[in-house]
Structure 1
Amino acid sequence: MSTSKNYAGIPDQFAQLETAKVILIPVPYDGTSTWGKGADKGPKAFLEASENMELYDIETGSEVYEQGIYLANAIVENSSPEAMVNAVHKTTKDFIKRNKFVTLFGGEHSISIGTIRAFNECFDNLTVLHIDAHADLRESYDGTKFNHACAVHEASQTTNLIQVGIRSMDAIEKTFMDDEKTFFAHDMVTDEYWMDKVIEAMTDNVFITFDLDAFDPSILPATGTPEPGGLFWYETLEFLKQVFEEKNVVGFDIVELCPNEVDKSSDFLAAKLYYKMLSYKFQGEDAGDEYDNTYDVDYKSNNNLKFNDDED
Structure 2
Amino acid sequence: MRAGFKLCVMLDLRNFDQNAVSNPDNNIFGLPSTEENAELIIMNVPWEVTVSYGSGTAKAPEAICKASLQVDLYDPHFPNAWKRGFYLTPTDKQLQLRSSYLRKEAELYIDYISRGESLEANQFMCKTIREINEGSDYLNQWVYDQAMSYLNKGKLVGLLGGDHSTPFGLYKALAERYDAFGILQIDAHCDLKKAYEGFEYSHASIMYNTLKEIPQVKNILQIGVRDISQDEWEYIQEHPDRIGVYFDQNIKERMFAGDTFKNIAGEIIDRLPQNVHISFDIDGLDPKLCPDTGTPVPGGFELDQIFYIFHEILKSGRRIISFDLVEVGVGETEWNANVGARALFKLCNVLASSNS
Contact 2:321 2:351 in 1 (8 A): no
Pairing of 1:1-312 with structure 2 (within 5 A): 4=25, 6-11=27-32, 15-57=33-75, 59-60=76-77, 62-75=79-92, 76-77=94-95, 78=98, 80-157=135-212, 158=215, 159=217, 160-177=219-236, 178=239, 181-191=244-254, 192=260, 193-246=263-316, 247-261=318-332, 263-283=333-353, 294=355
Letter in 2 for 1:165: G
Return the offset for 1:3: 5.2
Q: What code does the residue aligned with 1:161 have?
A: I
CA–CA distance in 1 between the matches of 2:162 and 2:201? 13
Deviation at 1:19, TM superposition (A): 2.8
Aligned length: 280
Contact 1:30/1:107 (CA < 8 Å) preserved in 2? yes
Classify the secondary structure of the residue corresponding to 1:181: strand
Q: d(CA) in 1 for partners of 2:271 and 2:182?
A: 9
Q: 1:250 to 1:61 in 2, by over 3 A?
A: closer
Deviation at 1:268, TM superposition (A): 0.7
In the alignment, the residues of structure 2 paired with residue 200 and residue 61 of structure 1 have an alpha-carbon distance, to the nearest angstrom, of 23
TM-score w.r.t. structure 1 length?
Answer: 0.84
State the Cα distance separating 1:281 from its structure 2 match.
Answer: 3.4
How far apart in 2 are the matches of 1:81 and 1:50? 29
Q: Work out the CA distance in 1 between the residues paired with 2:221 and 2:340.
A: 22
SS in 2 for 1:225: coil
DSSP-derived class of the 1:231 partner: coil
State the 1:280 CA deviation: 2.9
CA distance in 2, matches of 1:6, 1:151: 29
Map Cα deviations across residues 259-289 of structure 1 (whole Å, 9 max, x no partner): 112x222211110111112223344x9xxxx
State the AA in 1 paired with 2:347: M
* Greater radius of gyration (CA): 2
Q: Give the whole-Å Cα distance in 2 for the aligned partners of 1:133 and 1:46.
A: 21
- 1:152 is paired with a residue whose SS is helix
TM-superposed CA distance for 1:94, in Å, is 1.7
Can you list the C-alpha shifts for 1:123-157, whole angstroms capped at 9, x where unaligned?
12110111100010012112222110101112233
Deviation at residue 61 of structure 1 after TM alignment: 5.5
Whichever residue aligns with residue 196 of structure 1, its letter is G
- Kindly provide the CA deviation profile for residues 46-79 of structure 1, in whole angstroms up to 9, marking residues without a partner as x: 111012221222x226143211122223355336
Structure 2 Cα separation of the partners of residues 17 and 88 of structure 1: 16
Distance 1:127 1:94 in 2: 22
Query: 1: distance between equivalents of 2:156 and 2:60?
Result: 21
Q: Which stretch of the first structure deviates more once superposed, 241-250 or 34-43?
A: 241-250
C-alpha contact (below 8 Å) 2:184/2:220 kept by paired residues: yes
Q: What is the alpha-carbon distance in structure 2 between the residues aligned to residue 101 and residue 61 of structure 1? A: 17
CA contact (8 A) 2:86 2:348 kept: no
Distance 2:189 2:25 in 1: 34
Q: 2:205 and 2:189 mapped to 1: Cα distance?
A: 10
Q: Alignment identity in percent?
A: 27
Q: Could you tell me how far 1:100 is from its partner in structure 2?
A: 1.2
Gaps of 5+ in 2: 1-22, 103-134, 255-259
